[in-house]
Amino acid sequence: MFNKILVANRGEIAIRVMRACKELGIKTVAVYSDADKNALHVQYADEAVHIGAASPKESYLNADALIRAALDSKADAVHPGYGFLSENASFAAAVESAKLTFIGPSADSIRAMGDKAESKIRMKKAGVPTVPGAEGLESFSDFEKAADEIGYPILVKASAGGGGKGMRIVWDSDDLPEEVDAARREALHAFGDDRLLIEKYVADAHHIEFQVFGDKHGHLVHLFERECSVQRRHQKIIEETPSPSLTPELRKQMGEAAIKAARAVNYYNAGTIEFIFDPLLSTFYFLEMNTRLQVEHPITEHATGLDLVHWQIRIAAGEHFPYQQDQLSQRGHAIECRIYAEDPANNFLPSTGKLLQYIEPRGPGIRVDSGFRAGDEVTHFYDPMLAKLIVHGESRELAIQKMQTALRDFVVHGVVTNIDFMQAVLAHPDFADGKVSTRWIENNFNWTPPVEPPFESFIAASLADIVVPGTKSQVPGLNESDPYSPWKTPSGFRN
């Protein structure tokens, strides 16, 4: 087992990984940029190494600095977290070349799944359902012919892309020339690679992903699904497991397809197979594979009872994963809400500032993974996610109620958050009915911020509570004759 692990990441995921290390008796090394020198993940680690300036490319994306920090601190292994270099095959290979263990899949698996066109061809060969489409198209007439065969609407996607970048929906053949050119320009700009593929567009699809886990001895299992359809512009907001859309038979079929997909690239460690699911036809199609641990992994942990980061570390150290598929099951219902410092009333623009007040909810079945505490500065350098709020309940209805209560108890002052927005989603009948597709927020959800009384009115109400001798309190119900009222104490002490 490893003696020391360097976590090549920041924020909540760095703390989450370090917690697992500590539970396994492994020392931890944090890395930090100029902007993170007082960050919680730095204080939580046994050691910390400064790796560069605030901008990610000079710090958390600087592979040489990260590997040098691991070697200098005599770490045995590197955990990449998610984002940053977690799906960078060259970084994984460089870590292994430096005689360190990369806690994740092999560089070959990352490479094989990094190109959407190649991964799709490989999936087709492995018998994994893929969306009808065409890859490797060169001339515009190739696109035109393929699109006519598939039938509109179609999606034009960047082969080197993912997460929706460079993706264009084409509803009619007249729009094809312009959309193909735009997709090509966007792909070249975003990925330096303008290869495209086209697919039949599955309108109002659900985004359902399956967690897979493999060890280095060829044993692969799935840890069931996560429904991630509550998204806005490809940013997930609310995730849950089990999916309200799946029947046991569909779950079995998709789980088997997920394992086939992982086996096709000799996968080991934690990975996620993304599917789109058409609830009208009850059909599912492989979208892509995420060769890393995901933000939303905690809901799988609570539904299966497994600590995914513990098992990532133990598998990376060569242990066998001890459970067979029929020994794994889902229990209860788990939901995750991502608390973002952003303003839904202002086109979700990031909100920066000092966390004047930050109080996390607590209670049975409530978990908060966060990298912030009161007094911290929320900056524009990194992802605006403040925390992940995860709840686990006996049923979906109880989990929703638990989440609504926990969100009400989550206190954040100093930045604007999306908490009210998520409360409105959770309260919507379509969410309760499991009818939210990936297009629901854009097409069906009209949200206006709750009308808050002006801040001055809170001041006035508080002041009115302080009964000044000889004047009548303005607050109805305050019992003047109550000698034990906290507002009557002569000392001036106030709760």
Q: What angle do CA 123, 183, 380 make, to 5 degrees?
A: 95
Enclosing H/E stretch for 115: none
Nearer to ligand MV4, 50 or 439 (CB): 439
CA distance 121 to 413: 49
> Which DSSP string corresponds to 301-331?
HHHH---HHHHHHHHHTTPPP---GGG----
Piece of the chain touching ligand MV4 by CB under 6 A; list 139-147, 162-170, 263-271, 366-374? 162-170
Question: If binding is defined by CB under 6 A, does position 205 make contact with ligand MV4?
Answer: yes
Measure Cα distances from 33 to 6, 61, 70, 353 in Å. Answer: 15, 11, 15, 18
Beta bridge partners of 392: 334
Find the shortest distance in angstroms from Cβ 231 to ligand MV4: 5
- Does the footprint of ligand MV4 cover residue 375 (CB under 6 A)? no
Tell me if 63 sits within 8 A of 57, measured CB to CB.
no
Residues 287-326 that bind ligand MV4 (CB under 6 A): 287-288
Asked if 231 is part of the footprint of ligand MV4 (rule: CB under 6 A), the reply reads: yes
Instruction: Give just the sign of the alpha carbon dihedral 264, 270, 274, 275.
Output: positive
276 binds ligand MV4 (CB under 6 A): yes
Cβ nearer to ligand MV4, comparing 48 with 128? 128
Please identify, among the stretches 13-21, 163-171, 361-369, 403-411, the one whose residues bind ligand MV4 according to the rule CB under 6 A: 163-171
Whose Cβ is closer to ligand MV4: residue 76's or residue 288's? Answer: 288
Asked if residue 438 binds ligand MV4 (CB under 6 A), the reply is yes
Closest by CA to 321, choosing from 416, 197, 218, is: 218
Tell me how far, at minimum, the Cβ of 301 lies from ligand MV4, in Å: 23
Residue 48 touching ligand MV4 (CB under 6 A): no
Q: Which is nearer to ligand MV4, 155 or 400 (CB)?
A: 155
Does 275 help bind ligand MV4 (rule: CB under 6 A)? no
Beta bridge partners of 391: 335, 366
Residue nearest ligand MV4, CB atom distance:
438
Which residues, other chains included, contact 410 with Cβ-Cβ below 8 Å and sequence gap of 6+? 339, 359, 360, 361, 389, 419
Distance CA 240, CA 183 (A): 32
* Residue 265 phi, psi dihedral angles, 5° rounding: -120, 25
Please report how close the Cβ of residue 480 comes to ligand MV4 at its closest, in angstroms: 59
Q: Which is nearer to ligand MV4, 155 or 212 (by Cβ)?
A: 155
163 near ligand MV4 (CB under 6 A): yes
Task: Check binding of 151 to ligand MV4 (CB under 6 A).
Answer: no
CB of 133 to ligand MV4, least distance (A): 7
Single-letter amino acid, residue 438: T
- Counting every residue written for the chain, the total comes to 495
Dihedral-angle region of residue 332 (phi above 0 means left; psi in -120 to 50 means alpha; beta otherwise): left
185 is a site residue for ligand MV4 (CB under 6 A) = no
Q: How far is the CB of 218 from ligand MV4 (least distance, A)?
A: 28
CB 329 within 8 A of CB 241: no
Q: Given the complex with ligand MV4, which of 394 and 442 has the nearer CB atom?
A: 442
- The distance of closest approach from Cβ of residue 444 to ligand MV4 in the complex, given in angstroms and rounded to an integer, is 13
* Measured torsion, CA atoms of residues 297, 309, 110, 115, in degrees rounded to the nearest 10: 10
Rule CB under 6 A: choose which of 15, 20, 134, 155 binds ligand MV4. Answer: 155
* Residue 129 Cβ vs ligand MV4, minimum distance, rounded to whole Å: 12
Residue with tokens 């089990």: 242
Which range binds ligand MV4 by CB under 6 A, 28-36, 98-106, 160-168, 249-257?
160-168
> What is the phi/psi pair of residue 324, to 5°?
-85, 160
Please identify every residue annotated as catalytic: 292
Hey, which residues between 78 and 137 contact ligand MV4 (CB under 6 A)? 131
Structure-token match 């979906």, residue found: 396
> Per CB under 6 A, does 77 bind ligand MV4?
no
Q: Which residues bind ligand MV4 (CB under 6 A)?
A: 131, 155, 163-164, 167, 199-202, 205, 207, 231, 234, 274, 276, 287-288, 438-439
